[in-house]
Every structure is written in structure tokens, then in C-alpha cells.
Amino acid sequence: MKDAPRDQWHLLQRHLEDSAALAEEFASGFAPGWGRIAGLWHDAGKYQRAFQGRIGADPDAHCDARVDHSTVGALIARNRGAHPLCFLIAGHHGGIANKQELANRMERQSHLLAETRRDGLPRGLEEEILPPIPSWIGTDARKLALWTRFLFSALTDADFLDTERFYKGQLRDLGETMLLEALRDRIDAHLDAISTRATKVNAMRARVLADCRTAAELPPGAFTLTVPTGGGKTLASLCFGLRHAVKHGLRRVIVVIPYTSIIEQTTDTYREVLGEDAVIEHHSNLDPDRETRRNRLASENWDAPLVVTTSVQFFESLYANRPAKCRKLHRIAEAVVILDEVQTFPANLLQPIESALAQLVAHYRTTVVLCTATMPVLLNQLPAPPREIIKDVRGEFASVAGRCEVILPSSAKATTWEVLASELQRHESVLAIVHRRADAEALARILGDDCFHLSARMCGAHRREVLAEVKTRLKSGRPCRLVATQLVEAGVDVDFPEVYRAMGGADSLAQAAGRCNREGSRNRGYLHVFVAPTEPPRGILRTAKETTWVLWNQGRLDLSDADLFQEYFRRLYGMVETDAGVIAAEKELRFRDSADNFRMIDDSGIAVVAPYRGSDERIADVRHNITRLGMRRLQPYLVSLYPQEIDQLNRAGALDPLDDHLFAVSPPFVSLYHPRFGFTWQAHPLAEPRQLII
């Protein structure tokens, strides 16, 4: 506390001891003894006279230059042979470095330890007794890397919290937090009180719930929850998680959702059942104008009994190297992690994802639940395969097989958009799912103005409004035609009598079937699979279509057969690269490279703020000062465009740069954003800037 009276200073010894106590508490389950040592050594470099002079504690040692205080504790750790601590102590402000980078840094700064000893480093601090490294790590660098990040998490969270405690006079108060037992009782009471009419779908949901309650008694470990779409897994899986956590003394339940487009749907359901303050959300689409103080604080380190987050946030944190992103990791230990729609895991990161999940189950007392209707083969690295929660998976799929009849193509001939549109117009309510954003716009234009449209060319706020109107129309029985890309499939709760799906991956076809007669309220729904005049984008989507095409040609494409997907994913993953260089980086303890290589979202796009209702005021907030809060407020209005599109629009003078990687649309060019299709101008090449001006 520079310039504060001396009796208000945060004493260094007190900070080290208190941080050590918190870090030890956080790490006790997976690194007993190590949290305490990390806390005691992490700020040892602050004993330097230069540092004391810089903060004004030693007027005789006045110093205006930056003082390296984090390397000193790393040097102590190196001298004592506590090599994992070198990474986290040296990186507790700037991030964990690659092994060679850290070695070079410590060699350059090796003189600092002797200088700190001279300046008053307590002698006993270097003589702390080291605990043994857990024997299960052995010589496996991948295990050592994840363990180091978890310990880094415990240290950084302790450091943040102790500093915050000093300034506020107490550890943070999040207000009243419901205990897991109370959450369990609430969801049980809600599920027991549900009265539903007798249908095959509701009977299946009741069996799924009963199986989840039974399996919750089993010991912690890895589970699969293979349920047909519409089988009620959103609440049934949470019921399992809460009961399992209470039964086995686990600390929290973390629900991981693949897409921000469906996370709000899930959290709304949870809050309706458990109460408004029972759920902590942590995702990029969360509007800070609606966020509570408790949610903001708890999302920093997941200090809550129930957390809902995204796959991006969860998995990128497991391989991150920066303090803010790693801070919450230790909360994953001794937790139930429910992973929804696991078929959406990016194939190019499958190996590191499986490696991390297997380690969580084996060494961090974490229960992992893999949920989907189309289960891939995962977690082969475990000594035993995951336990299936549903007692009769085949029987459950068979029980609702008649809900939706799948009509496969009669030939490989492509259907034109005009022919498809004429067929769609015969149905009052119908959903068509196509490969590409341009496909969706082209088909929707042919169908006319009364057809709804959904694609990633629309910002999140726009898509939510359209989806809400679609659901309202379907529930009221009013006509509703919708053309969408595959973003409408996994997790989106819509129920159409007829669905058309472009031939793609078998998992995508099954998810499309899940939007057809979802509730079983009709005698039968129909999924029409057609051959589109375009191909899916290059990469995993095209490979998935090719894999499915082979199964179709072999007469094996039976979407009601749960076993089909095991074979489908085996073939698919055998044809693609399942690691983006993360495993190699882990084996060499290149922490920064691991973080850089583990990217679940393609960074090739550039963000543009859509000129959609409500965006103007938020753009004004960041025009001259881009802050993290301002960026979060803009998130519901961002659309990712390709670099070549950005170049084209810049040449036309249509974009207003907010920073190097963020643009708004210049006011004269707001017609770039169509009220129905979002960003669209490709049909009219921009020969002249005035073509965009209204």
C-alpha cells in the first residue's frame, strides 16, 4: 500500500503466511503440503530493498524502476529441487512460461537471490520441509503439467483473495449461498411434482430420471448418459450431479454447455427450478447489465455450488497459462462435471481433451458425466470404460423410434434450392437445416418474407429474438417455416412436425431428428434427408458427411440404433488429426505453447459489432476507452467476419475501427446488416462505396 500510513501497510510476512494457508486449503486434495510452500515463497522477492523502496516502505532505498520480485521465489524452489514451483512462482503475475524460457530467465536473474538474502530474506524461509511429489505423476510430463497448473490455480486464487481481504478487511462475502443439499432437495421436489400426460416420451423421461437417481449412489468416476433427444437429460443429469455430490462429499457441480446460443436456455431452466440466485453463469455472452455482483465475483474463481459454463471456458482453462484464466482450476477438483453434447468436442483437440478428463477422474476425485444422444467413444485412457447411467440404452432408443420417421435420399442426385423450396412450401410448419450461412440465406429468400432465418451472420441478440418468436409460434400452433444452419441442432429446444436436413454427419442428422416431433405429441414426425447442391465447409464437417455417405451406401445408416454412433465416430476420428500440437507441448512442459495451441474457436474471424437494436449505446461506451466490461457488453452484438470480408468493407469505407481487432459499421452503411439475414452484401459486389449507403 504505497503512500498509506505504516499501520495500514499489508505486511509481507502476514501476506505470505495467509496466502500459504489459503493455497494449502485449495490444493490439499491433490497436492498436500505444496500449496503452503508455494504461498510462502511466491513473494519472497519483495524482501529486496529495491522493491521496498519502490513501494515507499524504505525511503532510503527509493526506486522508480520495475523490480523483478517473482524470480526470487523460483530460484529458492530451484535450489531446493522443487522444480514445479519454479513455474508457478515465476509466473504468478505474468503467466507460466515454457520450460526453456523459464530456465533462461532464472539464469539471467540468478544474482537476485543473493541480493535478497543480503537485504533481509528470512533465513528460515528457504529451509521449509518439502513434501513429496505425488507418486502417481511418476515420469509422465503430461500429468506433471496439469498438476502444476492446478497448483498454480491454488496459488493465484489465494494471492488474489488475500490481497482483496486486506483491502476490504475480510474475505469476500458472496451473500447467502445455497448448500448442495438444499439444491438437491429443490430439484427432487420439482421433479417429483411434475405431472405430465402419458406419452412414450414422458415415460422415457421418467425412466431416465430413475436411472440417474440410482446411478448417483455409485462411487465417483467417469459416466456416460446416453439419452435420445428430448429425453429430459437437462434436469435428469443435474439431479444425478447434485445427488452424487452430496452422497460422496464432492464440493460442487459444474455444467459445461457447448454453445453460448443454448447456455441461457439451460440456466433459465435451472433458475426456474432452483431459484434465481442458485446458478453462477460464466460465459462470454452473459450481459453484464443483467449480471449480479455475486455472479461476477463467483465466476472469477467458481466459488459456488453450481456453475454453468461453456466448453470453451472449461477446456481452455485446463490448458491456460495466465493467472486470471487458471485461477478457477482448483475448483474442478472434487467436483461433478457434466459435459453436455459431447459429440461437439472439436476433433482436432480430442487427444488433449481426453487426456485432461482422464486425469481429472483418476487423480483429482472428479466425477465426469458425458451426455449426448450420439455418444462417441471417449476416455479410452481410463483403466475401465465409463459406466453408462441408462440401464437399457437400446431399449430407450427403440421406445421412441416411431416418434420420427427418417426418410433417406433415394439417390445421390442433389436437390436444387428451388425444388427444395417448393417442397417446403407444402408444409405450414417446417424446419430446414443446411450446410452454410449462404445456403440458409439463399433458401430463405426463395421461400419468401414469412420464412424465418437463423445463421451465424446474425448477432446473438438477433438470433435469440428470432428463436423466441419461432418457439411462440410452434407452441400456439401458428404456421412457422424456419431455415437455419446447424447452430439450431444441439440443445435448441424446438419441436417441428417436419424437418429437412442436408446430408451431413450422422450425429448432425440424429440431432436434426431431435427437433422433429420432439415431445411425441403427434402420431409421427418426418425427417427428410436430402443431398444439398453445396458441400459442407472443408474440414471436420465435410469429413463427417463423407463418413456418413459411406454408411448410407452400405445400408447401415440407422439413426435409431445407438450402436451406429460408436462405429461412426471411430471411422470419423480415424480420418482426422486429433491433436493440434498440445500433447507435444505438454510432454516438454511448454506451458505457453500448450495454451496457444489449445484454441477451441477458430481465431481467423474478425469481430464486427452488428448495428442491431441496443448496440449504439454500447458502441459509444467503448469508442474511446475499450474496457473488459465494455467488451462484455458488446458480446451479444458481435459477428465474426472473414479477413477478406473485412478488407472489402474497409476499402468501401464501411467500417469504423474501435481497435485493431474490433470494428463497428459506419452509420451510412447500416444496410450492411439485414433485419432478417444479418450481415449480407455478397450478392451485390461492392464496386462503389455508395452502393452500401442508404
Let me know whether 162 and 217 are in one domain: no
Let me know whether 422 and 542 are in one domain: yes
For residues 222 and 363, the answer to whether their CB atoms sit within 8 Å is: no
SS3 679: strand
pLDDT, the chain, mean: 89
* Three state DSSP letters for 237-289: HHHHHHHHHHHHCCCEEEEEECCHHHHHHHHHHHHHHHCCCCCEEECCCCCHH
Does a structural domain hold residue 639?
A: yes
Please return the burial class of 139, using the count of CB atoms within 10 Å of its CB with bins 0-12, 13-18 and 19+. exposed
Residue 433: count of CB within 10 angstroms of its CB: 27
- 444-464 pLDDT tens trace: 999 999 999 999 999 989 999
pLDDT at res. 690:
38
Q: How confident is the model at residue 688 (pLDDT cuts 50, 70, 90)?
A: very low
Let me know whether 240 and 382 are in one domain: yes
pLDDT at res. 402:
82
- 63-94 pLDDT tens trace: 666 788 999 999 999 999 999 999 999 999 99
Tell which residue, 123, 58, 368, 405, has the closest CA to residue 244.
Answer: 368
What is the C-alpha to C-alpha distance for residues 75 and 90, in angstroms, rounded to an integer?
A: 9
Q: With a cut of 70, say whether residue 9 has pLDDT above it.
A: no
Does a structural domain hold residue 611?
A: yes
Q: With a cut of 90, say whether residue 661 has pLDDT above it.
A: no
Residue type, 303: D
- 262-279 pLDDT tens trace: 787 788 889 899 988 888
Which residues pair with residue 165 across a beta bridge? none
The average pLDDT across 237-252 equals 97
- 110-158 pLDDT tens trace: 999 999 999 989 989 999 999 999 999 999 999 999 999 999 999 999 9
pLDDT at res. 295:
60
- The CATH number given to whatever domain includes residue 478 is 3.40.50.300
pLDDT at res. 4:
46
Q: How confident is the model at residue 57 (pLDDT cuts 50, 70, 90)?
A: low
Let me know whether 55 and 129 are in one domain: yes
pLDDT at res. 195:
67
Q: How confident is the model at residue 686 (pLDDT cuts 50, 70, 90)?
A: very low
Residue type, 112: L
The average pLDDT across 183-208 equals 89
Tell which residue, 418, 57, 400, has the closest CA to residue 205.
Answer: 400
What's phi and psi for 504, nearest 5 deg? -145, -150
pLDDT at res. 522:
85
pLDDT at res. 289:
55
Does a structural domain hold residue 401?
A: no
List b or e across 281-301, with b for residues whose CB sees 16 or more CB atoms inside 10 angstroms. bbbbbbeeeeeeebbbbbbeb
Q: Which of 522, 556, 590 is the last residue of a domain?
A: 556
Distance (Å) of CA 162 to CA 21, 126, 308: 10, 22, 26
pLDDT at res. 518:
87
What is the C-alpha to C-alpha distance for residues 44 and 275, in angstroms, rounded to an integer?
A: 45
Does a structural domain hold residue 588?
A: no
The average pLDDT across 186-205 equals 87
As for how many domains the chain has, the answer is: 4
What is the C-alpha to C-alpha distance for residues 82 and 76, in angstroms, rounded to an integer?
A: 8
Half-sphere exposure of 456 (CA within 13 A, CB side): 14
Does a structural domain hold residue 586?
A: no
The average pLDDT across 157-164 equals 92
What is the C-alpha to C-alpha distance for residues 516 and 531, in angstroms, rounded to an integer?
A: 19
The average pLDDT across 371-390 equals 89
- 565-582 pLDDT tens trace: 989 999 999 999 999 999
Let me know whether 84 and 157 are in one domain: yes
Q: With a cut of 50, say whether residue 689 has pLDDT above it.
A: no
Let me know whether 378 and 242 are in one domain: yes
Let me know whether 162 and 185 are in one domain: no
pLDDT at res. 65:
65
For residues 308 and 267, the answer to whether their CB atoms sit within 8 Å is: yes
Domain that holds residue 483: 409-556
Tell which residue, 243, 246, 242, 272, has the closest CA to residue 255.
Answer: 242
Does a structural domain hold residue 567?
A: no
Let me know whether 524 and 615 are in one domain: no
The average pLDDT across 641-646 equals 89
**Measured on CA atoms in the order 371, 377, 381, 382, is the torsion positive or negative?**
positive
pLDDT at res. 296:
62
Residue 100: count of CB within 10 angstroms of its CB: 11
The helix (H) or strand (E) run that includes residue 406 is strand 404-407
Let me know whether 339 and 203 are in one domain: yes
Does a structural domain hold residue 525?
A: yes
Residue 384: count of CB within 10 angstroms of its CB: 8
Q: Which residues contact 587 (CB under 8 A, 6 or more apart)?
A: 141, 142
Among left, alpha and beta (phi > 0; psi -120 to 50; other), residue 464 is: alpha
The average pLDDT across 677-686 equals 67
Torsion angle of C-alpha atoms 362, 150, 592, 142, degrees rounded to 10: -20
Q: Note the pTM of the prediction, 2 decimals.
A: 0.89
The average pLDDT across 163-172 equals 77
Alpha helix ranges (H) inside 30-135: 34-41, 49-54, 70-80, 83-90, 99-108, 111-119
- Which range among 123-127, 286-290, 555-559 shows the weakest confidence by mean pLDDT? 286-290
Name which residue leads in pLDDT, 298 or 606.
606
Q: Which of 394, 429, 451 is the last residue of a domain?
A: 394
Q: Which of 168, 201, 235 is the last residue of a domain?
A: 168
Let me know whether 200 and 55 are in one domain: no
The average pLDDT across 613-630 equals 84
Let me know whether 623 and 510 are in one domain: no
Quick one: what percent of the chain has pLDDT higher than 70?
90
Does a structural domain hold residue 601?
A: no
Q: With a cut of 50, say whether residue 5 has pLDDT above it.
A: no
pLDDT at res. 562:
81
Let me know whether 613 and 680 are in one domain: yes
- Which range among 184-198, 241-255, 565-579 shows the weakest confidence by mean pLDDT? 184-198
